Amino acid sequence: MSVWGTDDLHYYSSTKKINLDDFTLTRDTKITVLSGAGISAESGVPTFRGEDGIWKDAEKMRLATPTGFATHPDKGWDFYNLRRMNMAGAEPNNAHKVLAELERQGYDVVVITQNIDRLHHVAGSKRVIELHGTIWEIKCGNPGCSLEPFENKDVPIKGIPLFCDICGTHLRPNVVFFEEMLDPVNVQNAEIRTRETDLFLVVGTSGVVYPAAGFAQLASASGAVVIEFNLENTPLSFFCDKSVLGQCGMLIPPTLNKLSRGEFVYEC
């Protein structure tokens, strides 16, 4: 089975269901979290694919492609400056914080995130795989350039468009644009972790963007307990062992407390 699509989704989801009463969360449990736009939406960060999502605007989608950004880097930076402004005022919510606290208390936690806002880092999570990069770094638009991505938290960035001091190519956000492949090292690390995980939490993701959505499928096929937290059911709900519907920040703490038989405590 591959994480790249929906092949065998129904087969694997229909052949494995775990009774959560038989599962106990301990500090030896490998916990992996897949987080999406929904977790950051609870912090006020605009989502992408909902009814009012960012990608409903065709012009914005074009600017979020390598060709679109290179053709109009000034408009591209205007768009990403606006996104920076939206994200700069956001603070981690209880969903981010409880996952960081779980790690702080000695549990084995890795977060695989589709988000580019770094709210997991701000909350205190140390082991985070950023599948789609981060808006708080800048890199050269020339993939062959030796310039390393560098942090920049200016809001807004001034003097746009920006150009590389080494090769003269325009600079761009260190995020994965449409039509680009994910970093293969990040994908490989996420896949290895998912295959060996015991508890896989799907937090605030629509379950329609691959390969990220495929990691939940892979976790299920590998025998992990899979629990989904979202406002509504998603394509991933079909094969999750449990779907918990509502605000992630309110529902994750009591779920973890119950799974740990009261050992893990986080007060919202």
Q: DSSP letter string over 15-74?
A: H----GGG----TTSEEEEEE-HHHHHTTT---SSSTT-GGG-HHHHHHTSHHHHHH-HH
Q: Is-contact 216 36, C-beta < 8 A?
A: no
**Tell me, what's the pLDDT at 50?**
53
**Tell me, what's the pLDDT at 255?**
97
**Tell me, what's the pLDDT at 19?**
85
Q: In this structure, which CATH number among 3.30.70.2740, 1.10.3720.10, 3.20.20.70, 3.30.1600.10 belongs to the domain 46-89+134-175?
A: 3.30.1600.10
**Tell me, what's the pLDDT at 257?**
97
Three-state DSSP at 130 gives strand
Residue among 106, 107, 118 nearest 201 (CA): 107
* Token pair 């981690």 in the structure block, residue: 92
**Tell me, what's the pLDDT at 41?**
94
Superfamily in which the 1-45+92-132+183-268 domain is placed by CATH = TPP-binding domain (3.40.50.1220)
Pick the catalytic residue from 96, 120, 121, 132. 132
> CA-CA distance, 80 to 179, in Å (whole number)?
17
Q: 120 an active-site residue?
A: no
> CA-CA distance, 65 to 174, in Å (whole number)?
12
Domain ranges of the chain: 1-45+92-132+183-268, 46-89+134-175
**Tell me, what's the pLDDT at 212?**
83
User: Which strands, in side-by-side order, build the sheet including 199-203?
Assistant: 128-130, 108-113, 30-35, 199-203, 225-230, 242-245
Averages of pLDDT over runs of 10 residues in the chain (268 residues) are: 47 63 96 96 80 57 88 91 91 98 98 97 98 97 96 92 95 94 96 98 89 90 95 90 96 97 92
Query: Percentages helix, strand, coil for the chain, rounded to the nearest 5?
Result: 35, 20, 45
Burial string for 202-231 (b: 16+ CB within 10 Å, else e) reads bbbbbbebebbbbbbbbbbbbebbbbbbbe
